[in-house]
Amino acid sequence: MSDETKQPNPSSDWFREALGEKSSTPSPTEELDLLAAENTPPSDAEPASPEPSPPPENMTVTMIRFDGDPGTSTSSFDPIPVVPPREPDPEPTAVMPVRKPKPIPPPPPVEDTELAKPLRSKRKFRWPVVVVLGIAIVAVGVAAAWLPRAVNQEATAVRQSYYNAAAGVRNYLPTAQTGLDAITNPASEPSDVAGAVAIVTQLDSVSLALEQVTGQPLPSVLPLVPSGPIDRLKPLRDRGAILGSAASLQARRLANAYVYRTSAPVLLDPGPLPPVADTQQVNDISVRLASSLAADAAVIADLPDDPSFDALMTLIREQHDRYGNWQNEYLSALTSEDADSATTLLNELAGMKSELASANQSALLAFRSEADIAIVDLAGELEAYMADLTRTP
């Protein structure tokens, strides 16, 4: 046998087995692959015999020599190459044939009568929307027509309230004149003068009602609504308030006149006084005069201020000051038993009272003329005011 080293034929089976490239029997994985290849259509089938994979890169091939007889050689061999261990084959998986899905038939047609009304309708609008829009349009139209009318009605109601209050004052003015006459007439009976109190109270009541109704705020108006009828009430409201205040002033002045009419006669009136008196009588008269002076001071403090009675008020205060001094002089005359001086002092007191009564009557008559003119003028203004309230705005 030649010593020349020859490379074994790679196509030999035993050589491939020695290299670990191909086993003499197919592995389970190969059997499954072959079975799948048989069940696969020709167009999708893989090649029947795959090409051998190249030998591993880390494998070393060593050339050996033998004597020509592969089975009986007694010559020594070089070490047989060691094949690197192979990784374990993956678990066999069954390859199922790929089937095309069965087509799903379309659903049967549904008749139009079986659908709900919204689905069956071919309109592009909905009846609820149309109804809502219609209601909104009607509401706007009604509001546009009703709101101005409501404003007019409310303004008319306010005018009516002004008219009623003004009429209450106007209709009571004649009665107020009778009360004025009872207070200022020198010939009036005490009962007539006392009855004037109720007249003055009622006049003040109706005057206050006019002031209150014209002092209330005007009704409010919504935006975009004509406010002309309400705006025209402003001058009427202010005018009515002025007239109500004027009527209240007349009621107060009548009350002032009543106070002066009833207060002046009780001043400087300690009762009958003697020109002479013993010691006990002097003591009693002294107490009586002191009480009279204190009572007069209280009455004067309650007298109201009124331009028509300013002169009378001045006289009353002067006489009250003199009345205090007069008491001391009179008591001294009684104590000294000076009858002439006591008599002179008594005549002086009577003259003071007469002067006060005359001044009071003059002030009342002057007030009567002034108040009567004011009442007549107030009646005319109220009538004109009521006529303006009844005019169509």
Q: Is the pLDDT higher at 197 or at 92?
A: 197
Mean pLDDT within 202-219:
92
For residue 136, the model assigns a pLDDT of: 60
Using an 8 Å Cβ cutoff, are 259 and 303 in contact?
yes
CA distances from 106 to 46, 99, 112, 348, 360 (A): 38, 21, 18, 137, 121
pLDDT in tens, 63-113: 555 444 444 444 444 455 555 555 555 555 545 555 565 666 666 665 555
For residue 146, the model assigns a pLDDT of: 45
> Any residues with CB less than 8 A from the CB of 337 and at least 6 apart, and which?
276
For residue 231, the model assigns a pLDDT of: 77
Instruction: Label each residue of 77-137 as H, E or C.
Output: CCCCCCCCCCCCCCCCCCCCCCCCCCCCCCCCCCCHHHCCHHHHCCCCCCHHHHHHHHHHH
Whether residue 51 has pLDDT greater than 90? no
SS3 57: coil
pLDDT in tens, 260-272: 999 999 999 999 9
Amino acid at 388: D
Phi then psi for residue 272, to 5 deg, are -65, 135
Whether residue 54 has pLDDT greater than 60? no
Site of tokens 């002025």: 242
Mean pLDDT of the chain: 77
CA 224, 225, 226 angle in degrees (round to 5)?
115
Whether residue 1 has pLDDT greater than 90? no
Amino acid at 256: N
> Any residues with CB less than 8 A from the CB of 321 and at least 6 apart, and which?
none
SS3 190: helix
Mean pLDDT within 137-166:
71
pLDDT in tens, 304-359: 999 999 999 999 999 999 999 999 999 999 999 999 999 999 999 999 999 999 99
For residue 217, the model assigns a pLDDT of: 87
> Does the reported pTM lie above 0.75?
no
Reported as a pLDDT band with limits 50, 70 and 90, residue 6 is very low
Mean pLDDT within 151-157:
78
Whether residue 199 has pLDDT greater than 90? yes
Whether residue 44 has pLDDT greater than 50? no
For the chain, percent of residues with pLDDT exceeding 90: 54
